Amino acid sequence: MRAGKQPADPAGTGWPARLHVVTGKGGTGKTSVAAALAVALAADGRRTLLVEVEGRQGIAQLFGVDPLPYEERHLTDAPGGGEVRALAVDAEEALLEYLDMFYKLGAAGRALRRFGAIDFATTIAPGLRDVLLTGKVKEATTRTAGQRRAYDAVVLDAPPTGRIGRFLNVTAETARLAKVGPIKSQSEGVSALLRSPMTAVHVVTLLEEMPVQETVDSIAELTSLGFPVGRVIVNGARPALPAGRAVTTAELRQGLLAAGLPADRATVRGLHQEAADQVVRRELEETLRAELVELGRPLTELPLLPDGVDRAGLARLAEALVRAD
Amino acid sequence: MPSEDAAPQLDVDQILADPGVRIVVCCGAGGVGKTTTAAALALRAAERHGRRTVVLTIDPARRLAQSLGLSELDNTPRQVKGIDVEGSGGELHAMMLDMKRTFDDVVLQHTDPAKAAEIFANPFYQAMSSTFAGTQEYMAMEKLGQLHARGEWDLIVVDTPPSRSALDFLDAPARLSRFLDGRMLRLLLAPARSGGRSMFSFVTASFGMFSKVVQKVIGAQLLTDLSGFVAALDSMFGGFRQRAEQTYRILQARETAFLLVAAPEPDAVREAAYFAGRLRSERMPLAGLVLNRVHQPAAPALGADDSLAAAERLERAGGHAGTAEVLRAHAALAQQAEREQRVAARFSAEFPGVPTVSVPAQPADVHDVDGLRTIGAAISDR
């Protein structure tokens, strides 16, 4: 790697990029991982912004707060005096803001909305919609306040793996529509940031077949489109299986008796069945883990949280993310 | 558990065997096994109930698609070979939705070839047909309408797109209609209809500001393309809306059964509850909830706490390491099962009348016909 290409990692978090795009197959917990990463990177007095773009209000649900407006708001404190802010980007609002910024629209902007123009513009040209969403993310990432950047890091809870390539590939989408003009330059600016070492796209997966397959596919897609792929994050991971011999029903029976538990046939056979299923599951997990290692990307494993992702769970995930290798 | 008793048991076989049921729609959040469920139900309908069945999948995992003989996205139902229908006389056909091709077909159907060629060449059409937010949902409904109209099948099983929210699926036709009826579109169309050169030549002074902004922001070239697109589509509007409304009515009819698919996780169950509410308010027939990947200990008599305490005793005493490990795993499983029951109970508390079936988690992923058969049997287990 050439010196100067990689952004510095002054905080020593192991997450050198400034814009972290978190994707993954639906159901892998990418919102939780994105939130945990925002908390982790805000530790020790830093400030991060956690952004969502799909109107799902996943962040609000995760943190148990009221739906987020299109406005950067305090979300939570981070250990060591840091702060995580949150923003739900709305394409319509972003378009109005954008128009206002460049054309000083004022009341005319509201008129646009009344005419249904905003709805129209963001509906007919989905590429435009994505330019607006990513444009806002870019603005927050590069914004400065005084002498320093407004945010030490921006974490984007991005669309799932099935749509991530198209979502990030804004120039290609808009190039088909806008040959010249501000939308074109806007999309080019976004594209430059997303393809720079300032950005890292992380893929969240589970140790299950389909999420792993989608991870492999989307990393190939992202790489071919020229986006910097960051880490592969295995969510809900159980530690690798200790090499051991499967326990027999006779041993189980003796063990149960020694522990003072009922050792009837049904219990022994039930437990034995559970252990056998467990072995099948674990072996599959090992195969999938090996497939992920094969990708040659840094692999981060997050523990399975038995009680779901509450505040305490998020703190645990955050800790695991920065502790990683 | 009283909350569990409250939810009536869903009898999937009764639905699949009922000749009055012509459409089964599987819907729910992404990552809950919707596609697998749809495929398993279709296979069972063909093998067990002798129905001539077609399953419409949206974005199946590669290996699952291969197991159904779907090697490419060709938008045409293909018969699935190598399944056991000798006794029942049923058939299984499967297809993967090709969004763009379906859209093209709709255009071709509603306009003359010259106009269609013009539409296909327009950059807006190209963008819209492949990426329009809601196109996939709309085209899934369109394809369902087509399959239904052909009348070749006893039963159509539909997998729904992995929408960002379950809403998109129901809203797509309405959104498209609203869009096509929109004021903005009418404004854009007016000059094209009157044969005007400039799109906004007709506008009043008050609208001038607006048109200037639009021109500035999206550029004149874009506006020209857009105008052409809208004008070309104009002839098809009526047909578009009519079809969307037709499909919507089919979905409301008695011949349709909606099955919600969820996993016992808070997000998926919340989404399912939301969807159940929507279906109710749209007066669409909700047949039940399929709760996938439910964990059930095989030794239910042994509680989690007892199991953990015993594991600790064994570890302190030394020896029986294998049993201690099994007991710890059992405790974790029992706790997970309890958690899942609590999550599922939230749904049944909100929708006590909705029949539910729990499908046990499979130790390994499903990607062949045997696996689908196992899942089908599990869904139908009473």
Closest CA–CA distance from residue B191 to any residue of chain A (Å): 17
Separation in Å, CA A25 to CA A10, A78, A144, A209, B311? 31, 27, 33, 11, 36
Cβ-nearest to B297 among A162, A213, A274: A274
C-beta of residue B130 within 8 angstroms of C-beta of residue B122 = no
Closest CA–CA distance from residue A126 to any residue of chain B (Å): 6
Per-residue pLDDT reduced to its tens digit, B80-100: 988 999 999 999 999 988 888
What is d(CA B12, CA B19) in angstroms, rounded to the nearest whole number?
A: 13
What is d(CA B313, CA B330) in angstroms, rounded to the nearest whole number?
A: 15
DSSP states of A59-106: HHHHHT-PPP-SS-EEEEEETTTEEEEEEE--HHHHHHHHHHHHH--T
pLDDT given for residue A76 in this prediction: 95
If one counts every other C-beta atom within 10 angstroms of the C-beta of residue A238, the result is: 16
Question: CB–CB of A210 and B320 under 8 A?
Answer: no
Cβ-nearest to A25 among B31, B62, B326: B31
Per-residue pLDDT reduced to its tens digit, A147-191: 889 999 999 999 989 889 988 987 776 766 666 667 777 788 899
pLDDT given for residue A16 in this prediction: 87
What is d(CA B275, CA B168) in angstroms, rounded to the nearest whole number?
A: 11
Name which residue leads in pLDDT, B238 or B192. B238
Chain B residues within an 8 Å CB radius of A210? 31, 61, 365
Among A17-31, B32-46, B162-176, the minimum mean pLDDT is found in B162-176
Separation in Å, CA B191 to CA B39, B160, B194, B224? 49, 39, 5, 12
Mean pLDDT, rounded, for B250-273: 91
Please classify residue B237 by burial: count the beta carbons closer than 10 Å to its beta carbon, then call 0-12 exposed, 13-18 middle and 19+ buried.
Answer: middle
> Which residue in B326, B335, B368, B374 has the most chain A C-beta atoms within 10 A of its own C-beta, making it the best mutation to test that interface?
B326
pLDDT given for residue B55 in this prediction: 94
What is d(CA B361, CA A274) in angstroms, rounded to the nearest whole number?
A: 12
Closest CA–CA distance from residue B301 to any residue of chain A (Å): 7
Q: Is A107 on the interface with B (CB under 8 A)?
A: no
Question: CB–CB of A209 and B367 under 8 A?
Answer: yes
Contacts (Cβ under 8 Å, ≥6 apart) of A78: A39, A40, A42, A43, A44, A46, A48, A84, A318
Chain B residues within an 8 Å CB radius of A160? 30, 162
Question: CB–CB of A116 and B182 under 8 A?
Answer: yes
Contacts (Cβ under 8 Å, ≥6 apart) of A212: A205, A206, A288, A291, A292
Q: Is A177 on the interface with B (CB under 8 A)?
A: yes
Question: CB–CB of A260 and B313 under 8 A?
Answer: yes
Question: CB–CB of B219 and A213 under 8 A?
Answer: no
Chain B residues within an 8 Å CB radius of A213? 61-62
Closest CA–CA distance from residue B152 to any residue of chain A (Å): 32
C-beta of residue B203 within 8 angstroms of C-beta of residue B188 = no
What is the widest separation between alpha-carbon atoms in chain A? Answer: 81
Cα atoms found within 13 Å of the Cα of residue B311, Cβ hemisphere only: 18
Name which residue leads in pLDDT, B163 or A20. A20
Chain B residues within an 8 Å CB radius of A159? 164
Chain A residues within an 8 Å CB radius of B317? 258
Per-residue pLDDT reduced to its tens digit, A243-297: 556 789 999 999 999 999 999 999 999 999 999 888 888 889 999 999 999 999 9
Chain A residues within an 8 Å CB radius of B336? 306
pLDDT given for residue A108 in this prediction: 62
pLDDT given for residue B234 in this prediction: 64
Hey, CA dihedral for B14, B165, B100, B175, is it positive or negative? Answer: positive
Rounded (10°) CA dihedral B34, B39, B42, B48: -110
pLDDT class for B200, splitting at 50, 70, 90? very low
pLDDT given for residue B258 in this prediction: 95
pLDDT given for residue A5 in this prediction: 43
What is d(CA B248, CA A22) in angstroms, rounded to the nearest whole number?
A: 36
Q: Is A210 on the interface with B (CB under 8 A)?
A: yes
For A28, the closest chain B residue by CA position comes to B31
pTM (two decimals): 0.82
Question: CB–CB of B164 and A99 under 8 A?
Answer: no
Mean pLDDT, rounded, for A83-98: 85
Mean pLDDT, rounded, for B150-159: 94
ipTM above 0.90?
no
What is d(CA A115, CA B213) in angstroms, rounded to the nearest whole number?
A: 13
Chain A residues within an 8 Å CB radius of B59? 162
Question: CB–CB of A115 and B301 under 8 A?
Answer: no
Question: CB–CB of A180 and B221 under 8 A?
Answer: yes
Cα A223 to chain center, whole Å?
A: 17
Compute the mean pLDDT over every residue in chain B, rounded to the nearest whole number.
Answer: 81
Name which residue leads in pLDDT, B242 or A2. B242
Hey, CA dihedral for B22, B28, B30, B31, is it positive or negative? Answer: negative
Cβ-nearest to A274 among B124, B210, B329: B329
pLDDT class for A40, splitting at 50, 70, 90? very high
If one counts every other C-beta atom within 10 angstroms of the C-beta of residue B256, the result is: 21
Query: Is the predicted pLDDT of residue B25 greater than 50, yes or no?
Result: yes
Chain A residues within an 8 Å CB radius of B218? 121, 128, 178, 181, 183
Question: CB–CB of B164 and A56 under 8 A?
Answer: yes
For B185, the closest chain A residue by CA position comes to A120
Question: CB–CB of A271 and B184 under 8 A?
Answer: no
Question: CB–CB of A103 and B213 under 8 A?
Answer: yes
What is the count of residue pairs from A and B with beta carbons less than 8 Å apart?
217
Report helix angle B113-121 to B99-110, nearest 10: 140
Question: CB–CB of A182 and B298 under 8 A?
Answer: no
pLDDT given for residue A146 in this prediction: 84
What is d(CA B94, CA A82) in angstroms, rounded to the nearest whole number?
A: 53
DSSP states of B233-262: HHTTHHHHHHHHHHHHHHHHSTTEEEEEEE
Question: CB–CB of B322 and A247 under 8 A?
Answer: yes
- H-helix or E-strand containing B189? helix B183-194
DSSP states of B170-187: HHHHHHHHHHHH-HHHHH
Which range has highest mean pLDDT (A127-131, B45-49, B119-123, B141-145)?
B45-49
Report helix angle B135-150 to B123-131, nearest 10: 80
- Ordered by where they begin, the domains of chain A are 19-239+296-323 (3.40.50.300)
Question: CB–CB of B326 and A252 under 8 A?
Answer: yes
DSSP states of B130-157: HH-TTHHHHHHHHHHHHHHHHT--SEEE
Separation in Å, CA B81 to CA B67, B68, B84, B201? 10, 8, 9, 61
What is d(CA B110, CA B122) in angstroms, rounded to the nearest whole number?
A: 17
Name which residue leads in pLDDT, B1 or B181. B181
DSSP states of A227-268: --EEEEEEEEEPPPPP--PPPPHHHHHHHHHHTT----HHHH
C-beta of residue A24 within 8 angstroms of C-beta of residue A211 = yes
- Ordered by where they begin, the domains of chain B are 2-299+336-380 (3.40.50.300), 304-335 (no CATH)
pLDDT class for B184, splitting at 50, 70, 90? low
Helix intervals (H) in chain A: 30-41, 58-63, 91-103, 107-114, 117-124, 126-142, 161-168, 170-175, 182-194, 209-225, 249-258, 265-294, 311-323
